[in-house]
Amino acid sequence: MHLSPSTFLALCLATAAPVAQAALSSTATIPRREGAIIFELYDDPAMLAECTGRNDMGAIARIQSGGKVIPYGTGCWSAGGDGFITLKIKSLDDGSVRTNRIHSSEFKPASARDKGGKAQGVAEQMPWEFSKAVGDRGTPVCALSTDVKVGEGNRSISIKAFAKRDHLNITLHDTRWKFKAGSWHKATIDFDDKKPLQVEAYGDGSLLFADLPTQATAIFLGLVAERQTLRVAAPGDDLVAVNLRGIAGPLRQFVDCARAFK
């Protein structure tokens, strides 16, 4: 992984400077022939070029099918005087923009869990920690990790940088998962910023591994420093959302550790 001095300085500035956070406001699950489509409405301005209305706000659409939730696209929404919400969603697959009109009664306020917050009596997250270790094959590893208690289960998420590799890895562990060894799945990563990144994830029992594209390394670390929530849509499971508060110190250690590999 290559982090130039200017990139590292930008990360430090982003950690120290306050930034506006995109907040999930409401969601709607609309049944369809084979599953459902999930619309997420956000309370900050849309970034899509096709959304030119003065009141267009950000939106994300996901497809629910066969017990899995996969990303469909991003776009915008606006409320009309007739009680309907108009959504323009740009497909991540073919780039086409499709318009949907859904009555506002279909949308429900986002829960604390959807927003990545702590739901009373449901989830408890431990502080983020930095660690340095040696992998099974003797490869040095730098890691950021946190554990979350969810109901009767335990969940953890780790962000890892390996020596002699140019990409980051995200490892998810959930005691309730039972992935077939060697299975491949679609997963998405986002920061409540209307820009989900789709990745291929490798499943093995209670573990799910996803490699980030090399070109996304600096952007991803910058968003970790700036944002409040990291979300990973794991296949066939509820959204894995973790709070990023308190990560600034461990993140600096992680970046220093990763730069030392070069």
Supply the DSSP string of 54-84, one letter for each residue: TT-EEEEEEEEETTEEEEEEEEEEEE-TTSE
| The model scores a pTM over 0.95 | no
According to the model, what pLDDT value does residue 62 have? 85
According to the model, what pLDDT value does residue 14 have? 35
The gap from C-alpha 176 to its chain's centroid, in whole angstroms, comes to 20
Spatial CB neighbours of 38, under 8 Å, sequence gap ≥ 6: 27, 28, 29, 30, 61, 62, 63, 64, 69
* Low-confidence residues of the chain: pLDDT under 70: 1-23, 47, 111-123, 136, 150-153, 193-194, 235-238, 262
Give the full edge-to-edge strand order of the sheet including 35-45. Answer: 97-103, 84-91, 68-79, 57-65, 35-45, 24-32, 108-109
Q: Which residues of 125-161 are buried (b: 16+ CB within 10 A; e: fewer)?
A: beebbbeeeeeeeeebbbbbbbbbebeeeebbbbbbb
According to the model, what pLDDT value does residue 86 have? 92
Sorted by where each begins, the domain ranges of the chain are: 5-17+116-259, 24-109
Cβ neighbours, 10 Å, residue 191: 21
Phi, psi of 199, rounded to the nearest 5 degrees: -135, 160
How do strand 197-205 and strand 207-211 relate by DSSP bridges?
antiparallel
Q: For residues 123 and 126, what is the distance between their CA atoms, to the nearest angstrom?
A: 10
